[in-house]
Amino acid sequence: MYKNLKYLFICSLFFAACSEDIEEDTSGVESEVPVTAGTANFSKYVALGNSITAGYADGALFIAGQSKSYPKLLSDQFALAGGGTFAIPYMNDNFGGLLFGGTQIQSTRYIFTGAPTLLPGTPTTEVLNHLSGYYNNMGVPGAKSFHLVANGYGNPLGIGSYANPYFIRFASSTSTSVLADALAQSPTFFSLWIGNNDVLSYATSGGIGVNQTGNSNPATYGTNDITDPIAFAEVYSTLIDQLTTNGAKGVVANIPYVSSTPFFTYVSPITVPALPTANSGALNQLFGVINQIAAAGSLPSRFVTLTTDDNDPNTVEAKNPVIIYDESLPSLSAAIAATLTPLYGNAIANFIGIQYGQARHARSTPGDRDYVLLTAGSSIGTNQSGVPAPYDVIGVSYPMQDSKILTADEALQIKTATDAYNTSIKSLADARGLAFVDANTALNDVADGGVVFDNFHMTSDFVKGGAFGLDGVHPSARGQAYIANKFIEAINAKYGSTLRKYKAQDFPLSYPAGL
């Protein structure tokens, strides 16, 4: 979740349009009742989770983002109802980024300069400068569910393969786990939001990983693999059992669908402009032949008829879908080569067969949609190095490769795993009598037309929607406040507390360069 990102965007997106003002509805304004804890005890609050819990934003972890994280916002409300201090392992600066032994291993944060741009400057946070003591915010960017119980996750000797640089900074020892350090503080109240990365790293890599469903041994997983739902349930049960052993109460949240974030929805799969007559004609002829080959094998058509630019400035032609590589398709390479050899000769026919044997046009049908990753948008229409013209135009005549696309099949695998995780989370929350936050529904509402947050209409639109930051995955400061309110609602409902919610106007839509 904390990988470096690059992309090119339309520069006419301005922060001035980030939230659409609407007439304020004051019918639901809370009365000023005394803040009470109800049956909860907030005196020692510990938050466990990943980058969202840590306050990661705009592609980096930095002080301002940490100070606006939902656990910090919760702790400020808890303080009014008997809560104690809330220690945060703050970064050294507002640049973001990390150094390991003086070498930069993570980039600075993004700022908006007409397009998202890395903030100039050098990070000052050195991973090996260890922080002493224990910390209440135990959110660790990049952590998966099973990482929270892994001994040695903060060992600097494992930085290249296993350990986490963010946890190295504040782990109590090189052999401890995130859970152990949380338990060492004897929490009376906890929040747990973990599991996003168990599918997200697979998603943001374009499905470059393995769906490990059926393999319950996380020690054998790769970085971008989907966690087995049974393994997830076992780890999550361990977390809940340990955290509640001494009677602590808490709040847990389920996992949002990755499709609720602009990282997957900003770039449409139908985004290629109508083509000049010569280009569309040649491609339609080639794609028509491949469709006939597929039909001969009782397979569905793989390509649509591309639209042609009529050169009339008064008309607007429909856009075309991007062409993508789909590893789940049966390969037609040999059949394509055999069919085209009489026309083009063996060498060119084989090349075309290899390039288009598992290619198709992307789909945008709800429930059967392909997702072009935010990081891949800038490559569409550019030329692929090493590929001869006219077969080298990415997304037009050259299939977008697996790392740039989350196919409908891969998206379904992610959804299936997410649903299984969420079933376990809700079941364990109910069994232990914990407050439960349906974060999946809350963020789907943001993505599906938006939500009214005080006098603002907040959506998941990239840059201008207000809910997400410049990396397209992590919440903005206002998005963190929205999440904090969902946690507060759940806590109040479960424990009879009267914690107050936050106002959207008190949180910025973006972090400026000069923090």
> Within 10 A of 149 (CB to CB), how many other CB atoms are there?
18
Name the band, by pLDDT with cuts 50, 70 and 90, for residue 469. very high
- Residue 160: per-residue pLDDT: 72
Distance CA 234, CA 421 (A): 11
Name the band, by pLDDT with cuts 50, 70 and 90, for residue 158. confident
Across the range 359-382, mean pLDDT stands at 96
Fold observed for domain 31-264+409-506: Rossmann fold (3.40.50)
- The whole-chain average pLDDT of the chain stands at 93
Burial class (CB in 10 A: 0-12, 13-18, 19+), 160: exposed
Residue 17: pLDDT over 60: no
Q: What is the pTM of this model?
A: 0.91
Residue 23: pLDDT over 70: no
Residue 489: pLDDT over 50: yes
- Residue 377: per-residue pLDDT: 93
Among 28-42, 331-345, 421-435, the least confident range = 28-42
**Domain residue spans in the chain?**
31-264+409-506, 270-361+371-406
- The structure tokens listed for 425 are 């989370």
Residues 6+ positions from 321 with CB-CB distance below 8 Å: 269, 270, 271, 272, 304, 361, 362, 363, 364
Strand partners, 249: 189
- Residue 31: per-residue pLDDT: 54
- The structure tokens listed for 217 are 């041994």
> Within 10 A of 320 (CB to CB), how many other CB atoms are there?
23
Residue 26: pLDDT over 90: no
Phi/psi at 67 (nearest 5 deg)? -75, -15
Cα dihedral 126, 130, 132, 134, rounded to 10, equals 80
Across the range 236-246, mean pLDDT stands at 97
Residue 340: pLDDT over 60: yes
pLDDT tens, residue by residue, 420-458: 999 999 999 999 999 999 999 999 999 999 999 999 999
Q: Are 375 and 5 in contact (CB under 8 A)?
A: yes
- Residue 319: per-residue pLDDT: 97
Distance CA 199, CA 224 (A): 8
Task: Find, among 30, 18, 9, 4, the residue nearest to 476 by Cα.
Answer: 18
CA 247 vs CA 39, 71, 79, 234: distances in Å = 12, 20, 20, 20
Distance CA 514, CA 378 (A): 27
pLDDT tens, residue by residue, 270-285: 999 999 999 999 999 9
112 vs 11, which has greater pLDDT?
112
Across the range 386-391, mean pLDDT stands at 95
Phi/psi at 496 (nearest 5 deg)? 70, 20
Name the band, by pLDDT with cuts 50, 70 and 90, for residue 209. very high
Distance CA 34, CA 77 (A): 12
- Residue 2: per-residue pLDDT: 40
Helices 477-495, 439-447: crossing angle, 10 deg rounding = 140
Q: Are 68 and 54 in contact (CB under 8 A)?
A: no
Distance CA 121, CA 502 (A): 33
Q: Are 36 and 139 in contact (CB under 8 A)?
A: no
- Residue 14: per-residue pLDDT: 33
- Residue 62: per-residue pLDDT: 98
- Residue 24: per-residue pLDDT: 44
- The structure tokens listed for 200 are 């997200």
| Per-residue burial over 275-291, b = 16 or more CB atoms within 10 Å of its CB, e = otherwise | beeebbeebbebbebbb
- The structure tokens listed for 280 are 């569309």
